[in-house]
């Protein structure tokens, strides 16, 4: 099963992609997470990506497309993948279509998550992540059992630098300008489904899984 999860920042892409990964055993590939990992290891990719990410802007398309091209050819992607946060521009989407064609792979479905902006801002400013395993938390809805410590691996919990209110507003602006037009692109391909990302996390995850199983 090959899936894309799209939606504005804070609609829950990463959380629901994690649920899909666990349930169907296909890898969750987050371009944002790949960049964050590179930044923490101070690799050349991380150094390049950091300034774009910190300002709420997109990392250049050629870099991003190349990363995804390589990642989806790894052995763990043989039975599928769920891509979260890619593509984010029309140019990335067109390149991705071309890559899939070259690799003789078919995209099964694009899930577009919807949520209102007030909820998005509330979600993002309360969002926290584990620095070790990447597990996501929310200080209001899913806080860690022990403050500042990951329930699963004991890693330290942190807030992303680009999750400040100022940067979120810029990221939302970038989403409307550059990523939202992709909805029309995938509508034209006839393989997009729109889902409400705003509900309680487990409920939304179950709805998405049931929808995928019924296909
Ligand atoms: P995310 O974790 O998906 O919210 O991504 C965090 C940040 O990483 C974004 O705000 C962008 O700066 C960068 N990023 C992630 N995915 C992409 C992409 N497909 N194209 C360009 N930049 C990206």
Sequence spans of domains, the chain:
2-117+170-213
Pocket of ligand 1, candidates 49, 58, 171: which has the most ligand atoms within 8 Å of its Cβ, to mutate?
A: 58
pLDDT of 174 reads 96
pLDDT for the residue numbered 64: 98
Tell me if 88 CB under 6 Å of ligand 1.
yes
Mean pLDDT of 95-124: 95
pLDDT at 200: 87
Average pLDDT over residues 141-155: 96
- Say yes or no: CB of residue 10 within 6 Å of ligand 1: no
Taking residues 11-24, what's their average pLDDT? 95
Q: What is the DSSP letter of 163?
A: G
43-65 pLDDT per residue, tens: 999 999 999 999 999 999 999 99
Across the chain, mean pLDDT equals 95
Domain made up of 2-117+170-213: CATH architecture: 3-Layer(aba) Sandwich (3.40)
Please give the share of the chain, as a percent, with pLDDT higher than 90: 90
| Average of per-residue pLDDT across 131-155 | 94
Ligand 1, from 85, 95, 121: best to mutate by most atoms within 8 Å of Cβ? Answer: 85
Span 14-39, average pLDDT: 96
DSSP state of 60: P
Look at residue 34 in the predicted model and tell me its pLDDT. 96
- Is 28 strand, coil or helix? strand
| Of 123, 128, 135, 171, catalytic | 171
Q: What is the mean pLDDT of residues 62-72?
A: 98
Task: Read off the pLDDT of each residue in 84-97 and give the average, rounded to a whole number.
Answer: 98
Per-residue pLDDT tens for 177-208?
A: 999 999 999 999 999 999 999 888 899 999 99
Q: What is the structure's pLDDT at 93?
A: 98
Q: Encode 142-171: b = buried (16+ Cβ within 10 Å), e = exposed.
A: bebeeeeebbeeebebeeeebbeeebbeeb
Determine contact, residues 111/28, Cβ cutoff 8 Å: no
CA nearest ligand 1 atom 12, residue: 53
Q: What is the mean pLDDT of residues 123-129?
A: 93
> Is the pLDDT score of 145 beyond 90?
yes
């Amino acid at each position: 099963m090959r899936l894309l999860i799209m939606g504005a920042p804070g609609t829950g892409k990463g959380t629901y992609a994690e649920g899909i990964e666990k349930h169907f055993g296909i890898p969750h590939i987050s371009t944002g997470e790949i960049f964050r990992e590179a930044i923490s290891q101070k690799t050349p990719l991380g150094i390049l990506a950091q300034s774009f990410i910190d300002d709420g802007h997109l990392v250049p398309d050629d870099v991003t497309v190349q990363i995804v091209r390589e990642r989806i050819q790894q052995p763990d992607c043989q039975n599928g993948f769920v891509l979260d946060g890619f593509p984010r521009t029309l140019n990335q989407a067109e390149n991705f279509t071309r890559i899939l064609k070259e690799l003789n792979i078919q995209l099964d479905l694009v899930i577009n998550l919807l949520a209102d902006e007030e909820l998005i801002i509330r979600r993002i400013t309360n969002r926290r992540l584990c620095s070790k395993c990447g597990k996501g938390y929310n200080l209001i809805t899913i806080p860690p059992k022990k403050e500042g410590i990951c329930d699963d691996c004991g890693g330290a919990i942190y807030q992303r630098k680009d999750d400040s209110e100022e940067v979120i507003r810029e990221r939302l602006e970038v989403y409307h300008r550059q990523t939202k037009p992709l909805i029309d692109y995938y509508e034209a391909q006839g393989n997009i489904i729109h889902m409400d990302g705003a509900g309680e996390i487990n409920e939304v995850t179950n709805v998405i899984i049931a929808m995928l199983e019924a296909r």
